[in-house]
Amino acid sequence: MPAGLRPTTATAEYGGVVRSVILAHKEHARYALARPLGEVLAVAIQGALKPRRAAWLCPVPSSRSTVRERGHDPLRRITVSAARQLRRGGYDVRLADALAVVRQPQDQSGLSAQQRGDNLAGAFAARSRWAERLTDQPVILIDDVLTTGSTLAEACRALASRGIPVLGCAVLAATRRRAVPGS
């Protein structure tokens, strides 16, 4: 895992039905899937919070152009659903749109872990108006899928650079780690 990545909790392996449902919501605007995906994400957030019951939830942002192309912000929609689910269960969680995309990285598919890290370097920045509010507050970073950890590591770096500590990360699903030949 890349340096700077905080402990990450996933609820499922990324593949099969899980992959299909995530992509249907994300790429095909199946908005009704936000609620069940939010319920699944809530479980990952609970795992990342233990033993705490309060935190700010910070979704990793998509670029404005990506949100425009999709017609919605799928991760934010799922995070809002997860927060509602958690609040019904007595958790004190709130959404923090504390990150911004400041440099558009190239498409990550097909890139190695090293290339992904290089591609994402400097892609995110903490929003100034959140820096003071989140100082010394527990923050959970949220993403949909963990592949190499590069995206979350860069998001952790961006927040830490403004003095915002990240307690951990929560994702819907993670790809299976593959052994490197000869290791």
User: How do residues 100-147 score in pLDDT, each as one tens digit?
Assistant: 988 877 676 776 677 776 767 778 899 988 988 998 899 999 999 998
Secondary structure (3-state) at 106: coil
What is the C-alpha to C-alpha distance for residues 146 and 102, in angstroms, rounded to an integer? 21
pLDDT of residue 183: 42
**What's phi and psi for 20, nearest 5 deg?**
-60, -40
Asked if pLDDT for residue 69 goes beyond 60, the answer is yes
pLDDT at 181 over 90: no
Residue 44 has pLDDT above 80, yes or no: yes
**Matching residue, tokens 């299976």:** 176
All residues at 6 or more sequence positions from 49 whose CB lies less than 8 Å from its CB, including other chains: 55, 91, 138, 140, 167, 168
* More confident position, 150 or 78: 78
pLDDT at 176: 83
Alpha-carbon span 34 to 74, nearest angstrom? 8
